[in-house]
Amino acid sequence: MPNPRQVLIVEDDDLLTQMYQASLANSGFVLRWEKDGESAWAALQSYVPDLVILDIMLPKMNGLEILTKLRSDPRLTHVAVVVMTSLMDPTDQQKALSLGATAYWVKKDVNMLTFANSLQSFLPPAPAV
């Protein structure tokens, strides 16, 4: 059986995080949740997930700052980062993608029924055991 995929959720909204967790519950992902930018960055110093679900508007350090640091860290450059935000302005999307986001999703447009399958497409194939 392949190793479970590690997902770090960086989101300060408890209800949204519960929705993400419920949607991903049976997907085979191992989930970790951080509620602010500083704790997420601290976690990434000792933990390399396969995927990060990253909000932009976060306390203590915003998502774009985390994305910039993540992409400049050689241990983390391969990690898929899906920015999930309420920001709908195309300039926000362009900024996140230019900083190295794998994808940019507006929260209100995300279908929780297909959420886990949509995330799978951003992951490299699971290593054979």
Q: First-to-last CA distance in the chain?
A: 7
pTM of the model: 0.90
43-92 pLDDT, tens digit each: 999 999 999 999 999 999 999 999 999 999 999 999 999 999 998 899 99
Q: Name the packing angle between helices 37-44 and 63-72 (round to 10°).
A: 20
- The β-bridge relationship of strands 80-85 and 51-54 is parallel
Helices (H), 6-129: 14-24, 37-44, 63-72, 90-98, 115-120
93-119 pLDDT, tens digit each: 999 999 999 999 999 888 877 888 888
Tell me the C-alpha to C-alpha distance, in Å, between residue 16 and each of 97, 108, 120: 23, 11, 19
Please report the pLDDT score of residue 21 as a whole number.
87
**The two structure tokens encoding residue 29:** 């992902």
Q: For tokens 């055991």, what's the residue? A: 129
